[in-house]
Amino acid sequence: MSRPGSEEVRRARVWLSRAVEPGSLALHRLLATCGPVEAVRLIRAGEAPGPVARMAEARRTADRVDADLADAERLGLRLVTPEDDEWPDAALHPMEVACALDRDDLAAPLLLWVRGAARLDDVLAGAVAVVGSRDATPYGRHVAADLGHELARRGWTVVSGGAYGIDAAAHRGALVAGGTTVAVVAGGLRSPYPAGNATLFDNVAGSGLVLSEWPPDCPPHRHRFLVRNRLIAAFGAGTVVVEAGARSGAESTARRARELGRVVMALPGPVTSAMSVGTHHLIREGALLVTGAAHVLEAVGTLGVDLAPPPRAEPTARDRLDPLARRVLDGMPAREPASPDRIAVDAGVPVVDVLRCLPALEIQGFVHPTTTGWRLTPAARH
Amino acid sequence: MSRPGSEEVRRARVWLSRAVEPGSLALHRLLATCGPVEAVRLIRAGEAPGPVARMAEARRTADRVDADLADAERLGLRLVTPEDDEWPDAALHPMEVACALDRDDLAAPLLLWVRGAARLDDVLAGAVAVVGSRDATPYGRHVAADLGHELARRGWTVVSGGAYGIDAAAHRGALVAGGTTVAVVAGGLRSPYPAGNATLFDNVAGSGLVLSEWPPDCPPHRHRFLVRNRLIAAFGAGTVVVEAGARSGAESTARRARELGRVVMALPGPVTSAMSVGTHHLIREGALLVTGAAHVLEAVGTLGVDLAPPPRAEPTARDRLDPLARRVLDGMPAREPASPDRIAVDAGVPVVDVLRCLPALEIQGFVHPTTTGWRLTPAARH
């Protein structure tokens, strides 16, 4: 819901979002100083500060605000701006910090074009970004889907891009679990990109959201994917890279996440797989190795609530013996009976300890006495 | 080569090695105080300090020194003791430190029974331990063999146990490369264990060494594997765990390596593999993720000499463009020609910059001028 009197502000944001590519620190600062309406006036009049003027130069004479809003209405898109109640201030807070620290290319979005009915701030209240290579292997797609599924099942939103491979698998896994998933895409929402994921985007928008910073008709230029990545990184409490080659956009998302103070995680794979070179590199550079949702939630979830179980096999009856009894048991010959003296020599423990341990070992079914000495039970031989 | 007058000392060590299980801090301290010959006298007389007396109690009346030495001679084993020139003092130094710090179960060996002609100190001068599960997967065996091969090819000795699975694969890889490999086993050298690796041990001894702390006839009791693991950990400048289940002896070797100040490394695998649960756990606990010999040698090799190449794909011609030229290129329509003004709007850069970039992009084969504007070359469309 928009606050009253904001229509002019909203139109100004739409104009600005076309005039200057997203993520600009210079425009962010100008807006902080004078607000969107005055920023538009300054740029149009050629009076904006140098960096902003330069970026907007080629586009400052155009005005497609009405056309963009009409496009959005026709396509069933909502325009969400910082003036709206559902604007995800909490999720975007690290970007404000980054801007305060002079970090370029990390400025918060001017607005978001949104497909889907869910409230943006609600959906992003507990979210994890899952990203990775388009050229994913069957292994990568499997574990991405599994991770998306498990995160969704535990009530977390999955955030990703809209690419083939890992992105699509993560969305699908979450959707299968009946979960909420958010696709942040790098071009306008008029033409789904890649077109082969059109049905997937429909499904994502059915329960979650498809988001873009670009006006509906903007093509997904290459550099826009890198700009878009900062939003994926910001929207997740942590970013998990599932598969990435030596050269992958997923690593840029991971870098953004680190710059924004988010938890960076990577999922390992076979060292023989070119698609795990990037994730292994990230782990070597400090990313947290995760093998599934339990590890992810331990890192981003509530402290002490979402602890992953340690990867321990159940202790066996032998494990539960005290070290001395275990040593006596180790000293028993495999098949023939033995006297306590002989066991003491083989095990290297005093006879008195052997005599003390044997009855306890008998009660627990490890040994039994015979007329010629003590011997292992068949079950204890393994 | 033994130093003169040491025969009595050597015999004392053989006696002690049977009387007290290896790794004992208490015996180590007694030896440091009074030497092996006097230690034997004290234990036999029942006058040794409490902990040593207790450990030796069941065995102190036996004397198999002559039998053990005869066994060794018959089997072609050498006895190497700290009195010998080839004793690997450097490799064992961390154990001395551990003993000084009161760490139990990490005491240096009393002696080593050795099969193979190579000098112990030479062989261990540049060595890496490669360990892992007996129940290795084909993936694990493949990468262990590959790692053993590559380490050997670069002149490093591979140290491992004698088990099936990862141990055997690492030895085999090193042997195929014509390298030196050391098997440290957990029982006496009279009966190879497991018997199925008998031929492998023959091959290991052909160019490298098979080592044991136990008299030739001692069976490989379970707890002896854990005691043996400290030697594998000490002998490698670093320990690489290739595969390990949730419950694996390889983790104990890794822990020993950490306690001895050695580099602990683990090789990741599919998160869907039970045999990578242990390696992933080690990495999460601080072990260095390695994907092959290059990473291992970067960690244990000579600083600045053995740097692993970063996992970067070759930069493309597009990567080498400056950001502005890349942005202009991104703004070019895929198929039709465009005017500089149009390109400036699409790319979001000033026209003057577009005009400056286009000739350079033409020279590099990305664009060419037509009568109706500039267009992408076919090669630049991808």
Establish, for the pair of chains A and B, how many residue pairs have beta carbons separated by less than 8 Å. 140
Residues A147 and A224 in one domain: yes
Residues A375 and A289 in one domain: no
- CA atoms of A201 and A115, how far apart (whole Å): 9
- % of chain B residues with pLDDT over 70: 96
The per-residue pLDDT for B311 is 67
Reduced to 3 states (helix: H, G, I; strand: E, B; else coil), residue B115 is strand
Q: Judge if ipTM > 0.90.
A: no
User: Would you call B66 exposed, middle or buried from its count of C-beta atoms within 10 A (0-12, 13-18, 19+)?
Assistant: exposed
The per-residue pLDDT for A368 is 87
What are A130's strand-pairing partners?
A240
Q: What is the pLDDT of residues B18-53, one digit of tens each?
A: 999 999 999 999 999 999 999 999 999 999 998 899
Domain assignment present for residue A74? The answer is: yes
Token digits of residue A108: 């918060």
Rg (CA), chain B: 30
Per-residue DSSP letter, A261: T
The per-residue pLDDT for A328 is 85
Geometric angle at alpha carbon B159, from B154 and B160, rounded to 5°: 135
Residues B263 and B377 in one domain: no
Residues A329 and A249 in one domain: no
Residues A133 and A237 in one domain: yes
CA end-to-end distance (rounded Å), chain A: 69
The per-residue pLDDT for A312 is 65
Q: Mean pLDDT throughout B176-195?
A: 95
Residues A235 and A340 in one domain: no
Q: Are strands A263-266 and A373-376 parallel, antiparallel or unpaired?
A: unpaired
The per-residue pLDDT for B228 is 95
- Looking at B300, B334, B360, the residue that finishes a domain is B300
| Number of neighbours of residue A342 by Cβ within 10 angstroms | 19
Residues A260 and A332 in one domain: no
Residues B261 and B338 in one domain: no
Report in angstroms the alpha-carbon separations of B377 from B319, B347, B364, B368, B369.
17, 18, 10, 6, 10
The per-residue pLDDT for B303 is 61
Nearest to A124 by CA among A262, A305, A282: A262
**Partner-chain contact A271 B270, CB within 8 Å:** no
Token digits of residue B71: 């066994």
The per-residue pLDDT for B122 is 96
Least CB–CB distance from A271: residue in B143, B277, B348: B143
In sequence order, what DSSP letters do the residues of A64-82 get, joined into one string?
Answer: -HHHHHHHHHHHTPEEE-T
Nearest to B95 by CA among B157, B152, B25, B46: B25
- CA atoms of A344 and A188, how far apart (whole Å): 79
B307-346 residues touching A, CB cutoff 8 A: 310-313, 326-327, 330-331, 341, 344-346
Least CB–CB distance from A326: residue in B223, B272, B344: B223
The per-residue pLDDT for B156 is 96
- CA atoms of B216 and B203, how far apart (whole Å): 19
Of A170-179, B51-60, B220-229, the range with the highest mean pLDDT is A170-179
B253-312 residues touching A, CB cutoff 8 A: 267-272, 276-278, 280-281, 283-284, 288-289, 291-292, 295, 310-312
Domain assignment present for residue B132? The answer is: yes
Residues B109 and B186 in one domain: yes
Domain assignment present for residue B287? The answer is: yes
The per-residue pLDDT for A305 is 63
- CA atoms of A250 and B2, how far apart (whole Å): 61
The per-residue pLDDT for B346 is 82
Q: Does A222 touch chain B (CB under 8 A)?
A: yes
State phi, psi for A159 to the nearest 5 degrees. Answer: -115, 135
- CA atoms of B238 and A166, how far apart (whole Å): 35
Placement of tokens 């797989």 in the chain:
A273
Reported pTM: 0.87
Rg (CA), chain A: 30
Residues B235 and B364 in one domain: no
Domain assignment present for residue A375? The answer is: yes
Token digits of residue B317: 């011609």
Residues of A in contact with B341 (CB under 8 A): 58
Give the domain CATH number at A243: 3.40.50.450
In this prediction, the residues of chain A whose per-residue pLDDT falls under 50 are 1-2, 4
Per-residue DSSP letter, A183: E
Residues A80 and A190 in one domain: yes
Number of independent structural domains in chain A: 2
The per-residue pLDDT for A307 is 67
The per-residue pLDDT for A163 is 95
Domain assignment present for residue B50? The answer is: no
Q: Name residue A378's amino acid.
A: P
Q: Give, for B28, the enclosing helix (H) or strand (E).
A: helix B25-44
Domain assignment present for residue A182? The answer is: yes
Residues B179 and B265 in one domain: yes
**Partner-chain contact B277 A55, CB within 8 Å:** no
- Cis peptide preceding B216, ω within 30 of 0: no
Domain assignment present for residue A317? The answer is: no
Give the domain CATH number at B335: 1.10.10.10
Q: In what order do the strands lie in the sheet containing B209-212?
A: B78-80, B112-115, B209-212, B181-185, B157-160, B127-131, B238-241, B263-266, B288-289
**Partner-chain contact B311 A54, CB within 8 Å:** no
Q: Does B32 touch chain A (CB under 8 A)?
A: no
What are B238's strand-pairing partners?
B263
Q: Mean pLDDT throughout B318-342?
A: 84
Least CB–CB distance from A143: residue in B20, B271, B295: B271
Domain that holds residue A369: 323-381
Q: What is the pLDDT of residues B114-139, one digit of tens each?
A: 999 999 999 999 999 999 999 999 99
Domain assignment present for residue B230? The answer is: yes
Token digits of residue B67: 């039998």
Least CB–CB distance from A221: residue in B20, B246, B331: B331
